[in-house]
Structure 1
Amino acid sequence: MQIEAGVSLKSYNTFGLPAVAGRLVRITADADVRRLLELPGLGGAPKFVLGGGSNVILTRDMPELVLKVEVKGMRVASETADAFIVEAGGGESWHDLVAWTLDHGLPGLENMALIPGTVGAAPVQNIGAYGLELQDRFDSLDAVDLVTGRSVRLDASQCKFGYRDSIFKQALAGKSLITRVRFRLPRHWQPVLGYLDLERKMAETGNHAPDARTLFDWVCAIRRAKLPDPAVIGNVGSFFKNPLVTAEQCRDIIARDPHVVHYPMDGGGFKLAAGWLIDACGWKGKTVGHAGVYEKQALVLVNRGGAIGSEVQTLARAIQESVYGRFGIRLEIEPVVV
């Protein structure tokens, strides 16, 4: 465990927003949390868990004790008759884990390649892309209670996964720190291909039965073509959730805008493409202060250089009001605004 004072968080959030942590604690093991909780003056202090900073909008300095998760390690933890159980430390890069599984002949996560952030943050958001969500491959995780220091193991039902949601954004928000996550990767792998961009790739290449490495390469190419690299242009990836609507709502929107991009969901509802809604309202490429909407993908807000958190908030609210005014749909922000 390492404790630092007056740490700039600009390089610890992918939007590149300025903020300072009064104290930052680097967590490399469960025991670090327990030791921290025993320290006078720090154990009972308010805490904020920070992974890769790819899902947070910082609007202020942080008086809270910032816990930087840096638990490392990737391994095959066990095997069953139908799956391999892969375990990774919460501080590992998510994309590095996806690449590692393929390098070891363990497909199943390839649709979620290049999603920024850490392994420990992935269950919090129930990340997903191109027809696959984390919950589809999830086995269990280890977390430490930030009040008692007790380590717990949670399965999928206990995590209460929803669309870009979990118990860690609800009842356990700010109350636990995820140290390790385990994934169930199928022995008998089948590609997940039911997404428009992947269907286009199949049509372009003539390959309608891609293997896992090909699918990984396709997803990486699609994301790089659409999304800015956070190391070059500050962003947090998708800024808004794709709204879920009833079949009746979807029919009503299609009647007014026949080209709206929509996907059928289990249960009869539909998911609308938030990027299409934002683009239809004319926001692509627009700027407010030093925050803007990415020219290639309206779902992504970017740092034009020198942006502060309040500018991002102002832009996001303007987009929400615009989309609501035209479509009657209230967009929900994906990242955590602090």
Structure 2
Amino acid sequence: MANNLGIRNRRLPALLLTLLLVFSFSAYFSPATAQPVTKESLVNIGPVWIKVTVTLPTELVATDEYQVPVTILITEVEGAGLKVFYLKGLRITIGDTSTLEVVPDTPYSLSPGRPVSLTVKLTPRFFASQMVPGDIKDTTIKIDLSYYFEMNDGSSSMGFYSAFTSIPVRVIAPRTYVYVEPYLKTDYDPFYIVRFYVDIWVKGEGFIENAQAEISGAPVQCYLLTTGKMNVEEKRTLEFLMNVSKLGPFARSQYSVTVKVTAVTPWGYTYSYSFPLNLVIKPVRETKVNLPSTVVANTYVPVSFTLNPPLDKDEQATVSITFENQPVYSG
């Protein structure tokens, strides 16, 4: 009994460590657990008192878009009566670098006691544009109102006014990693074809919006291919084909090829890879075959081949002959 307890006690730290790692990973990337909060602000723009209400999440994950509702209500007007009040738009700033101007097609007309509601879409390219995969940034959101109003006595004012100056928010860029592997295959039968392959796969968290591979320096049939959206653990293979036989006299003996691959995350971070390659092409020759029209079974048949242009001194030719899909000679 004591031995069993000793074994269990020795396993306990490992079990606790495993549970801690699982909990830490779940806490890092759990956008569904971040609950939105509602903030209210009462601002005074000249003689006009305005109540602004906004609901937004406490965490912004760079794979998602967020719809943020904003409600503006004039609660009181001091002094002379209000003739018109227009909400021309909103300016939303995250940290010190990202600013979003929200301008409606026509200004919103506000009057006391009648709220105006609008929805602002926050995209990853706005709130996480300068982040790399795995970044976590604690910052603030500032919301300004763009307004114009005129009183009955003829006085007026226009400009920006800060409804919220510092709403705390955490921005998370998932650990999205892109792996790339190019390789080459060559076929000689029935045509001389060079095939470029690029394997692309995604690891970690989230997804990528698109990956593309481009071949430059070689006359492939299509030089640019894309994958579209790719999720984590997904793999795609892009294939480029260069038909040397059909190129004929346009084929050169050597090409300086570059395989370039880029992959873009939802918040705009771009992975970029470049693979240079010196591609040597074997000469393409015209082949003529001479053989008798009638042969006798189970006897040797003379067959001759002529290559134009002929082989160089350092070259060798291999001949393979099949009859009814069965190999009969190779050498």
User: Who wins on radius of gyration, i.e. which is larger?
Assistant: 2
Give me the TM-score of the superposition, normalised by structure 1: 0.23
Report which of the two has the higher share of helix. 1
Q: Relative contact order (alpha carbons < 8 A, sep ≥ 6): 1 or 2 greater?
A: 1
Higher strand share: 2
TM-score after normalising by structure 2:
0.24
